[in-house]
Chains A and B, each alone.
Chain A
């Protein structure tokens, strides 16, 4: 039984929305992949496998999550400018999690970058890898809160 009305958005919003959602999806995927790789690197710290996984986690953040974050954020600004909305709570949640997410991403990149460099030299870097893992997983959690706010649009 059909009970909910269909609401269509103007065609001009489609491309910015696609850019925003695609960026957000890749960001969440890369953050999850990097978090799992860094956690694996932490578990295998001191071995060649630990160094391989930590390096992969760092590169996933640098080459995947960072560009995806920029695409997601550009798409967000674009769609907000198109929609001309009056700053409802869910948009605020989106921008807060996005701004906080940027800081977490930068901190995660720095700690993972130093950790993979030290591991490559054979030095221990489990504290840094642990920090990078936690920062990446907190980033992932923040992005999931943003997904909740963007899709349910709580009032």
Chain B
């Protein structure tokens, strides 16, 4: 039986949650790209429904990264929740969570009013694109902070 330390298990769970968070970004970007040239919201319905996968991944990833991330920060000698890179990560986590939720709401609006609204008013609006970009930038930024750990 392979020997695995508690740190490694915590890191695995934290990483799996981070993979889910990045998965949410991949789903958002994929759905946005796929619906970009779709003529109407009705034609985009099967693609917009895939956005629910992003919602689920975002929730799992959001909770998992924060729970296991804080656990790791408390458990590992040398890290503290007051470290600059951890505070910056927490700030980006909030930005990613809020923008991810707004991306999900955009898809729901497009699905709910598929017959009455255009994709330009919902998924392809400048506001929606900004949410997508901010969500992706926040998650990539968190990954960069986790690897470089500036100041650690």
Give residues in A with beta carbon < 8 Å to B.
2-6, 8, 14, 17-18, 21-22, 24-26, 28-30, 32-33, 36-37, 40, 44, 49, 52-53, 56, 59-60, 64, 89, 144, 147-148, 151-155
Contact = CB atoms under 8 A, between A and B. Distances in A.
A72 B142 CA distance: 18
Q: Which of B3, B11, B30, B47 has the most CB of A within 10 A?
A: B30
Given A14-B148, A18-B143, A154-B3, A147 B12 contact: yes
Contact of A5 (B12, B27, B78): B78
B4 interface: yes
Interface in B25-72: 25-27, 30, 34, 43, 45-47, 49-50, 53, 57
A26 B25 CA distance: 9
B65 to A, nearest CB: 12
Contact of B77 (A4, A25, A64, A89): A4
> Which interface class (under 10, 10 to 19, 20 to 34, 35 or more) fits B?
35 or more
Interface of B: 2-9, 11-12, 15-16, 18-19, 22-27, 30, 34, 43, 45-47, 49-50, 53, 57, 74-79, 140, 143-144, 147-149, 152
Interface secondary structure of A, over-half rule: helix
A32 B23 contact: yes
A40 B147 contact: no
Given A17-B147, A22-B140, A52-B47, A28 B23 contact: yes
B62 to A, nearest CB: 15
Closest 4 CB pairs of A and B: A6-B78, A154-B2, A29-B26, A29-B23
29 contacts: A2-B75, A3-B75, A4-B6, A4-B75, A6-B76, A6-B77, A6-B78, A14-B148, A18-B147, A21-B147, A24-B19, A25-B23, A25-B143, A29-B24, A30-B26, A33-B26, A33-B27, A33-B30, A36-B53, A49-B46, A53-B47, A56-B34, A56-B46, A56-B47, A64-B30, A151-B11, A152-B9, A152-B12, A154-B4
Contacts of B144: 18
Contacts of B4: 152-154
